[in-house]
Amino acid sequence: MCSCFLLLALLALASASQLGVLAWRPWPHHFLSGSNSTATLSIGGGGGASSAAGLGESKKYEGSSEFVKLKYHMGPVLTGNITVHPIWYGAWTPAQKHIVRSFLRSISAPATPHPSVAAWWRTVRLYADQTGANVSAAVILGEERSDRRYSRGRSLSRLAIQSVIRDAVTAPRRPLPVNPRGSLYLVLTSSDVAVQDFCMQVCGFHYFTFPAIVGYTLPYAWVGNSATQCPGTCAYPFAVPPFAVGLRTAERPPNGDVGVDGMVSVVAHELAEMASNPLVNAWYAGEDPCFPTEIADLCEGIYGTGGGGAYTGQMLVDDHSGATYNMNGIGGSKFLVQWIWHPYLSYCSGPNALDHQ
């Protein structure tokens, strides 16, 4: 299956004395062996990396690279109102749901303090289709469903995620609506649910549903709560992977929930990619459509100015709580969200960039 986000590997393994900061993204462990103090940037698919550059030699910043050839492949982008339907699979507390809902509601919120989630979405809006229509400004939190009984079990294959969606849109009572003009589904699995490839290569993925399973072709994404399974992988930098313990300390999450605060950035990643590449035939880099490198893949692990390789970039710290974040949402909420590839500047961009006002 296509479209997980392991396609740009930005890996760094550095001794604390050399780089001071250690970033790690969810890539297979074999990438890490043998590399001690160098960061490797490889762009390409399926493990067949097509290029590599030592970051020490030619200093790249915020992901900028002449190797990136992001192209438009003539398919649609989401130009109508985007209605996100969360499906809460497993055990979720109201506080956890509140964090994710606040983030989703912040995307199109008109007046939130700078740097805002809404300004982050403006980079996604730069992507247009062949008619010249841009990704929609309107992202709306739609109807939701809960699957508290783990109706498809506690261990899901990738394809089983589509069965969870099918259950939600065909439920006898209050099924989720199906609107081919802009509906999408966000399956969120609780921390006690195993999903194929979760923690190994992916923290989330997006694709589209098959008519044979769901009855329609609609974009969807899955994101898992990594809190008990692999927070150092999928909720970094709110947790650090075992090999980095002692090299750096975890940041404090802005909403007090390591797993869910970590999920927010992955949800954002998948939404940006669904909007710009909903049927995996619009905006991506790389020659192989089975392994597209999409607009958020290119900025994996970059949260601020200077980010790239081993460094997350400059983030903000909340005076009161000491939490690390990089953007504001509705009602005083704060989030740490990865940046997005800017199609004209050809580097990663976000609202907290220091060269923005």
Ligand X SMILES: *[C@@H]1O[C@H](CO)[C@@H](O)[C@H](O)[C@H]1NC(C)=O
**Least separation in angstroms between CB 138 and ligand X:** 4
User: Half-sphere exposure of residue 231, counting CA atoms within 13 Å on the CB side?
Assistant: 20
If the CB atoms of residues 136 and 328 are measured against ligand X, the closer one turns out to be 136
Assess whether the previous peptide bond of 237 is cis (omega < 30° from 0): yes
Please report, as a single letter, which amino acid is at residue 132: G
Q: What phi and psi, each to the nearest 5 degrees, are found at residue 137?
A: -80, -20
**225 CA to centre of own chain:** 13
Closest CB 35 distance from ligand X, rounded Å = 7
Residues that bind ligand X (CB under 6 A): 15, 34, 36, 81, 125-126, 128, 134, 138
Tokens encoding 49: 């990396």
Q: How far apart are CA 215 and CA 166, in angstroms?
A: 8
Find the shortest distance in angstroms from Cβ 176 to ligand X: 17
Contact 250, 237 (CB under 8 A): yes
Smallest distance, Å, CB 125 to ligand X? Answer: 4
Query: Which of residues 87 and 275 has its CB atom nearest to ligand X in the complex?
Result: 275
The helix-helix angle for 94-106 and 117-124 (nearest 10°) equals 60
Residue placing its CB nearer to ligand X in the complex, 125 or 248? 125
Q: H/E element holding 70?
A: strand 70-72
Q: Could you tell me which residues come within 8 angstroms of residue 111 by beta carbon, excluding any fewer than 6 positions away?
A: none
Closest CA to 3 of 228, 182, 191, 270: 270
For residues 121 and 335, which CB has a smaller minimum distance to ligand X in the complex? 121
Q: What is the nearest approach in angstroms of ligand X to the Cβ of residue 206?
A: 21
CB of 92 to ligand X, least distance (A): 26
**Smallest distance, ligand X to C-beta of residue 321, A:** 32
- What CA–CA distance (Å, rounded) separates 240 from 228? 13
| C-alpha–C-alpha distance, residues 352 and 357, integer Å | 9
Q: How far is the CB of 127 from ligand X (least distance, A)?
A: 6
126 vs 279 by CB, closer to ligand X: 126
By beta-carbon proximity to ligand X, the closer residue of 81 and 314 is: 81
For 147, the enclosing helix (H) or strand (E) is strand 145-147
* Phi, psi (rounded to 5 degrees) for 184: -145, 160
Q: Which is nearer to ligand X, 122 or 158 (CB)?
A: 122
Please identify, using beta-carbon distances, which residue of 97 and 125 lies nearer to ligand X: 125
